[in-house]
Amino acid sequence: MTRSHALAAAAFAGALLVPFVVRSDYTLQVLFRLFLFSALGLAWNLVGGYAGQLSLGHSAYFGAGAYGLALSTRLGLPAWPSVGVGILVAMLFALVIGGVSFRLRGPYFALATIACAEILRLSAKNLTGLTGGDVGAAVPALFSGQVVRSFYWSAVLLASLAAAATLAVTRSRFGYYLMAIREDEDTALSVGIDTAKTKLAALLISAALTAVAGSLYASLFLYIVPDQVFGLDISNEVAIVAMLGGVGTIAGPIVGALILETASELFKNVFLEAHLLIYGGLLVFVVLFLPDGIVGTIVRRRTLARRRAKPPRAPDHAAA
Amino acid sequence: MPLLEVDRVSKRFGGLRAVSGASFSIGEKEIVFLVGPNGAGKTTLFNLITGFIHPDEGRIRFAGTDVTLITPNRAARLGIGRTFQIVKPLGSLTVLENVMLGAFLHTASRARAAHDAREVLAYLRMEAVAAATARDLPLAMLKRLEIARALATRPKLILLDEVVSGLSTAEAMALAALLQKLPERGVAAVGGVEHVMRVVVSIANRVVVLDHGAQIAEGEPHDVVRMPAVVEAYLGAKFRERHL
Ligand SMILES: Nc1ncnc2c1ncn2[C@@H]1O[C@H](COP(=O)(O)OP(=O)(O)O)[C@@H](O)[C@H]1O
Ligand SMILES: [Mg+2]
């Protein structure tokens, strides 16, 4: 077991013990959001970070999880299996959205993901018979008794699952395939990678994790409307969490969630609905000054320092 | 049966005939160069053979399979490796990881891929830069990295698009000496260059000369440079360049 393994295990154990120390439901709810958005950032990171496909429409899968839970229970399914339905619906959306938007590269891809999520939001608003439209839909409680605590633990578990999945991916050929696609899609094709299938696989994993987060979020509030769970805000926040911390790293989205949730807690009474301004400001700052994100910048500095300490031998051009 | 058969292949871009009626074939373990001035259609032919684009007319066969309408990733799986004229390194990955991505075509194991990648890096004399970040390499090494990544896929045929252009004569000859050993590794090669240069003469079995998308000559390097059509194509090209 390496030092980082030990550190991760200790952090996980520590996070599980928090509710025994923190008694305030309010604080636990803030921490729930922290872990929920860590999980969301990690899930997004597989597609947006490792594969370099800037999805700005992840609310499609979040909303699928939320409405999947709400609507399946209405059809008589028990609560937890309904979460499974949400996952399946999100994966179905991912197949369609990926099929449409992965044909496009760069900003066109990002725009296509926004458009797909917006179509879902507007559909949810207008299919009032199915979703209740803007009036909203009731969501069943996934827990009874010490509710907030249970939600907190679920979010910790989900974030850990997302981190473990990311770790497994980075250590596999699949993870290398994703990075190759990010670095140069033509090169990826030239070494035999089926880039379309690989991107879709990453999106399916990402969508499944995102849907569980959507279900948890919806069930904590017990009531959802389309603008909230299918909205641009969710899509943006998920992407910002990952980019702020550093795309293509495991710690990045967790650090990003920590900063973003702390900031929005601190400023929410000052700025009220001005959170969009904060998101925008943070994003501009990151893009301009920390293009690798916080964790990414630290990692890069360290690698550079290590390489300077031990420079590679000059290549032997004349050798033949 | 030849390894690669390009049969009366044509490709237009709008009104421009980038390749018109190209026909040639490559045998196993052969080294052939496509020679032609800038814009002659060499890169377009490489893109056609690897399925990055598809011909308007003609057929392409590889190892007995019709690959005319193949996808690029399937072409790689069949054993056609390629480099890119404008180098396309996986910039933020290390040199070793770049080459591992080629090796992953035949193994899912990271250890196995790293082992195979190191063997290819040794062949191309690149061990010293294995841990360097790809985007930090000088051009001569980036050109070699293109070759290393393609070779790691264990191709039967490798397409080398201008791998010596931009290199000093010493660098080019050093690379040529390495490429000469490709047949020993069981790999045939088709190179693309703008001029019949020392490298070509020293390692090519055959040369196919292209001009304005059309194939104007084919033969041994020494004979081809004396053919009137070839002389005309190059003098013409020089003349046009000077008077543009
Ligand atoms: N994707 C493309 N779209 C339009 N024209 C192209 C494209 N690719 C190549 N061409 C044109 O086709 C001709 C042949 O180009 P190319 O195959 O790159 O030649 P070479 O590699 O021999 O220099 C050139 O006139 C070039 O401008
Ligand atoms: Mg070219």
Q: Testing the interface with B: which of A190, A292, A306 to mutate, by most B Cβ within 10 A?
A: A190
List all residues of chain B from 47 to 76 with a beta carbon under 8 Å from chain A. Answer: 50, 52, 71-74, 76
Residues near ligand 1 with C-beta < 6 Å? B 13, 16, 18, 36, 38-44
Give the residue numbers spanning the domain of B27: 4-94+157-243
Whole-number Å distance between alpha carbons of A263 and B211: 64
Total structural domains within chain B: 1
Instruction: Give the closest residue (by CA) to ligand 1 atom 1.
Output: B13
Does A90 reside within a domain?
yes
Atom number, ligand 1, closest to the C-alpha of residue B47: 17
Does B21 reside within a domain?
yes
Does A317 reside within a domain?
no
Residue A274: band (very low, low, confident or very high) from pLDDT cuts 50, 70, 90: low
Tokens of A111: 């725009």
- The pLDDT tens digits of the residues spanning B178-200 come to 999 999 999 999 999 988 777 88
Does B226 reside within a domain?
yes
Does B111 contact chain A (CB < 8 Å)?
no
pLDDT value at A310 more than 70: no
Q: What is the ipTM of this complex?
A: 0.93
Residue A270: band (very low, low, confident or very high) from pLDDT cuts 50, 70, 90: low
Among A59, A208, A72, residue whose Cα is nearest residue A137 = A72
Does A2 reside within a domain?
no
For the domain that residue A207 is a member of, what is the CATH number? 1.10.3470
Does B170 reside within a domain?
yes
Whole-number Å distance between alpha carbons of B20 and B11: 6
pLDDT value at A316 more than 70: no
Tell me, what's the pLDDT at A318?
A: 38
Instruction: Give the closest residue (by CA) to ligand 1 atom 2.
Output: B13
Instruction: Give the closest residue (by CA) to ligand 1 atom 7.
Output: B13
Tell me, what's the pLDDT at A319?
A: 37
Does A15 reside within a domain?
no
Is pTM, for the whole model, over 0.80? yes
Total structural domains within chain A: 1
Sort out which chain B residues have CB atoms less than 8 A from A319's CB and list them: 125, 174
- The pLDDT tens digits of the residues spanning A37-48 come to 999 999 999 999
Sort out which chain A residues have CB atoms less than 8 A from B77's CB and list them: 192
Does A262 reside within a domain?
yes
* Per-run averaged pLDDT (10 residues), chain B, 244 residues: 94 95 94 94 97 98 96 98 97 97 98 98 97 96 97 98 92 93 96 84 90 87 81 65 48
pLDDT value at A226 more than 90: yes
Whole-number Å distance between alpha carbons of B206 and B106: 31
Sort out which chain A residues have CB atoms less than 8 A from B81's CB and list them: 190
For the domain that residue B46 is a member of, what is the CATH number? 3.40.50.300
pLDDT value at A210 more than 60: yes
Distance B242 CA to ligand 1 centre (A): 21
Atom number, ligand 1, closest to the C-alpha of residue B38: 23
Question: What is the residue-averaged pLDDT of chain A?
Answer: 89
Q: How many CB atoms lie within 10 A of CB B130?
A: 18
Contact partners, residue A157, CB within 8 Å, separation at least 6: none
List all residues of chain A from 176 to 215 with a beta carbon under 8 Å from chain B. Answer: 176-177, 179-180, 183-184, 186-195
Tell me, what's the pLDDT at B101?
A: 98
Nearest CA of chain B to the CA of A309: how many Å? 13
pLDDT value at A315 more than 50: no
C-beta atoms of A318 and B177 within 8 A? no
Instruction: Give the closest residue (by CA) to ligand 1 atom 6.
Output: B13
Kindly state the DSSP code that residue B133 receives in the 8-state scheme.
Answer: B
Distance B213 CA to ligand 2 centre (A): 12
Does B88 contact chain A (CB < 8 Å)?
yes
Does B141 reside within a domain?
no
- How buried is residue B69: exposed, middle or buried, by Cβ count under 10 Å (0-12/13-18/19+)? exposed
Q: Report the amino acid identity of residue A265.
A: E
Atom number, ligand 1, closest to the C-alpha of residue B41: 17
Distance A65 CA to ligand 2 centre (A): 49
Does B117 reside within a domain?
no
Sort out which chain B residues have CB atoms less than 8 A from A301's CB and list them: none
Whole-number Å distance between alpha carbons of A113 and A97: 7
Tell me, what's the pLDDT at A182?
A: 96
Tokens of B127: 């061990």
Whole-number Å distance between alpha carbons of A44 and A243: 10
Sort out which chain B residues have CB atoms less than 8 A from A317's CB and list them: 140, 170-171, 174
Does A4 reside within a domain?
no
Give the residue numbers spanning the domain of A94: 23-309
Kindly state the DSSP code that residue B136 receives in the 8-state scheme.
Answer: G
Whole-number Å distance between alpha carbons of B135 and B93: 8
In b/e form, how buried is each residue of A269-299, taking b as 16+ CB within 10 angstroms?
A: eeeeeebeebbeebeeebeeebebbbbbbbb
- Cross-chain CB nearest to B101 (options A171, A176, A317): A176
- The pLDDT tens digits of the residues spanning A16-25 come to 999 999 889 9
- The pLDDT tens digits of the residues spanning A123-176 come to 999 999 899 989 999 999 999 888 999 999 999 999 999 999 999 999 999 999
Tell me, what's the pLDDT at B237?
A: 55
Q: How many CB pairs under 8 A join A and B?
A: 104
